[in-house]
Amino acid sequence: MSINISTLLESRTACEKADAVDPLRNQREDFYLPQGLIYLDGNSLGPMPKKAFEHLEKAISNEWAEDLISSWNNAGWWKLPQTLGELIAPVVGAASGQIIVSDSTSLNLYKTVYAALALSEGRNVLVSESDSFPTNLYILEGITSAQQNIQRRLVGIDGDSLEELLDDNVAVVTFSHVNYRTGELLPIEELVKKTHEAGALFILDTCHSAGVLPVELDKWGVDFAVGCTYKYLNGGPGSPAYLYVAKRHQQVALNPLSGWWGHASPFAFEKDFQAAEGILRFQTGTQPILSLRGLQAGIEIAQTVDLQMVRKKSQRLTQLFIELVERRCGNYEVALQSPTDPEKRGSQVSFHCLNGFSIIQALIARKIIADFRAPGIMRFGFAPLYVSYTDVWDAAEALTDVLKTEEWREERFQQKHEVT
C-alpha cells in the first residue's frame, strides 16, 4: 500500500491505517520505550534496545564477575573495537577493515584532522562550516592554536560556499552530513569531488545520519569519517564513537594519539611506538568494555533493516509533521528552520520560536520528548524504527494545544536545566 501525505493529513484515523500497513511497524518492539511516551529525540539519544539488557547482563554477570581478566581473550574483549567496527561498516557503506570503534567523536575528529594534515604536505588551511556542531569547531580551534602555521576558514564567515574557500593552500575539508540545528542534508559526494579537485582531503561527520539514512563512505570517496553511536545507532549514553580511514590512506596515515592499543605489538611492552597495521593503528588507550557491549545491540538492529526503506519513511514522517505544524501553528510565530525539500532534509525537523525552551518543557510534561537548542530552536527527531505516523499526529496536536492555551507560560516550564 502506498502511503500518501495528503491522506495522512486528513485525520488521526488515516495515520492509524498507515501504521497498520507500515513494513517497519514491528521494529518498535526491538526497543524499550515507556508506555504512552512519544520519543522524538533520537537525534540526541536513541532509546535502549531490549537486547542491550542481555548483552550487558552477560558482560557483567559472566564475563566480568565470573571470568574476570580471562575475558580479554575468551570473551573477545580485546578485539571488540574491531569487531564492532566490522558490524558498523555496511551500515555506512564501508568495506571491511576501514572502521574502528574507539574513543569519542571529538577525539576521533582530532585524530583524523591531524592525520589528514600530515598527508597534505605544503598545505596549511582547514575548512569547515560556521554552523558545525560546536565541538568540531573547538577541536579545529585547538589544532590551529597548537600549530601556529595552520589556519581555519569557515563557510558562512569567510565565504558563502565551499568553492569560495578552496585554493592550493587548503589541506582538509571537514563537514557534517546533516546539520545538527536545521537538519539540512548536504550533497556529500559532490562536496568530496570538489575537495579532491582542489587537491585536499575530506573528513565527514556522520553523527546525525548513520543508522537513519543511507551513507556511502566508499562510494563517495570520503578520506576519513567520524560518527557517534548513541543517536540513531542507539548505543547508549556516551557510547564509544567510530572512526573511518579509507584503505588507500591506512599505511601512511598517522594517529597523533599513539597509545598502546594502536601499537603493532602491545604486549611486547616496547619502549618505542610502532604503529599497528591498517585501521588498528587508530586505537589509542584501553576501551570501555561495558559500553562497547551495550552498543552491540543497537548496531545489530541497524544491520538488519533496509536503510532505503527507513529513509522513505523518515521523509514521510518529517513532511507530515511540517505540514501539520505549519497548518495549525502559523499564527504563533513558529518558523520552520529545516529544508522544505525532503531530499535535502535529514531525519529531524527544527522550528524556531522565541519561547522554544518553555514550549519543549511543556511537551515533555505531556510525555512528548523533543529538545531545544539556543537560541530558540525546537528540534524534533523522527527515527522510523520506533516513531509512528500516529505519534507524529499526536505530537503536532499537543504542540498546537500548548501554543493555543499558552501552557508554556507556567512557571514550572521556565526553569533552565543544565542539559536542554
Cell numbers found for residue 414: 521556565
CA angle, 243 then 111 then 298, to 5° = 25
Q: How far apart are CA 354 and CA 365, in angstroms?
A: 19
Q: Measuring CA to CA, which residue among 50, 41, 39 is closest to residue 388?
A: 39
Say which of 114, 133, 244, 357 is annotated catalytic.
133
Identify whether 282 is a catalytic site residue: no
Q: How far apart are CA 261 and CA 79, in angstroms?
A: 10
CB contact at 8 A, 305 and 385 = yes
Q: How far apart are CA 40 and CA 359, in angstroms?
A: 14
For residue 34, is the peptide bond before it cis, meaning its omega torsion is within 30 degrees of 0?
A: no
Say which of 22, 41, 103, 205 is annotated catalytic.
205
End-to-end CA distance of the chain: 39
DSSP helix/strand/coil, 96: coil
Identify whether 231 is a catalytic site residue: yes
Q: How far apart are CA 237 and CA 138, in angstroms?
A: 21
Q: Measuring CA to CA, which residue among 291, 212, 281 is closest to residue 251?
A: 281
Phi, psi for 68 (deg, rounded to 5): 50, -135
Rounded to the nearest 10 degrees, the angle between the axes of helix 389-405 and helix 307-329 is: 20
Say which of 123, 153, 231, 313 is annotated catalytic.
231
Say which of 39, 110, 175, 230 is annotated catalytic.
230
Report DSSP letters for 177-218, one per residue.
Answer: SB-TTT-BBP-HHHHHHHHHHTT-EEEEE-TTTTTTS---HH
Say which of 379, 382, 389, 413 is annotated catalytic.
379
Identify whether 133 is a catalytic site residue: yes
10 Å Cβ neighbour count for 71?
18
Rounded to the nearest 10 degrees, the angle between the axes of helix 12-21 and helix 389-405 is: 150
CB contact at 8 A, 100 and 282 = yes
Identify whether 205 is a catalytic site residue: yes
Question: What's the per-residue H, E or C state across 217-237?
Answer: HHHHCCCEEEECCCCCCCCCC
Identify whether 379 is a catalytic site residue: yes
Query: Hey, which residues are catalytic here?
Result: 133, 205, 230-231, 379
